[in-house]
A and B are shown apart, each in its own frame.
Chain A
Amino acid sequence: QKEVEQNSGPLSVPEGAIASLNCTYSDRVSQSFFWYRQYSGKSPELIMSIYSNGDKEDGRFTAQLNKASQYVSLLIRDSQPSDSATYLCAVNAGGTSYGKLTFGQGTILTVHP
């Protein structure tokens, strides 16, 4: 089982719709969760972090965390063509891997006009 799993997509949504991206993780001691956006040929950009169960909103982005289900998601409201990118879920492990950020495979999102 992979440590961090995402649907690779591609996920295609029309402009103005809600895009929903999902991620599961295997290590129950994980405490910190991040979403990165990566445009083709560019480096990852941090867009959301979440540490507690529940929802966290920042502009058009909402991150949701459910530690009991080991599940984290990202909702993008009013999706725009400029949101088209690969979205990487990342988990920061504890214990001996303190400081190690493990990424999922990424979900390719396409927002079409």
Chain B
Amino acid sequence: DTEVTQTPKHLVMGMTNKKSLKCEQHMGHRAMYWYKQKAKKPPELMFVYSYEKLSINESVPSRFSPECPNSSLLNLHLHALQPEDSALYLCASSQRAGQDYGYTFGSGTRLTVV
């Protein structure tokens, strides 16, 4: 299994809703990441988890709450989002959180906040 699986693929939510994005990998990778990508822009890092512990938080607003229940799963809990949070949310994983490892990206969740 060489894939990172993200669900759902599409999500429409209201500004008062609570929803969660899910990411799963079974490659034995011990680093997992959340990126946000707006149209015609490069991906921007949100969070890095290394060995199930949060190691980097790029000053992301608290309405985004990451969770890493185990080495294969990564969640992103969403609450009280704004329309400007609409974007493609990408999960990625790598063998380790180090310089020598490229990422494998999931197919993304396209989020629309209305």
Contact = CB atoms under 8 A, between A and B. Distances in A.
> Is B a genuine binding partner of A?
yes
Interface of A: 30-32, 34, 42-46, 49, 51, 88, 92-94, 97-106
A106 B55 CA distance: 27
A43 B50 contact: no
Interface of B: 31, 33, 41-45, 48, 50, 55-56, 88, 90, 94, 97-108
A43 B108 contact: yes
Contacts of B31: 99
- Chain A interface mostly: loop
A25 to B, nearest CB: 13
A97 B56 contact: yes
Contacts, number: 65
Contacts of A106: 42
A88 B92 CA distance: 15
7 contacts: A32-B99, A32-B102, A44-B103, A92-B101, A98-B97, A99-B98, A101-B33
A101 B46 CA distance: 11
Nearest to B48: A99
Contact of B100 (A32, A42, A44, A45): A32
Contacts of B101: 32, 92
What are the 10 closest A-B residue pairs judged by CB atoms, nearest first? A99-B97, A103-B42, A43-B105, A32-B99, A46-B102, A92-B99, A31-B99, A43-B108, A49-B102, A34-B102
Given A99-B48, A99-B55, A99-B56, A46 B103 contact: yes
A43 B56 CA distance: 22
A43 B106 contact: yes
B48 A100 contact: yes
A46 to B, nearest CB: 5
A45 B105 contact: yes
A104 B93 CA distance: 19
Given A100-B45, A103-B42, A103-B43, A51 B100 contact: yes
A42 B42 CA distance: 12
Nearest to A102: B45
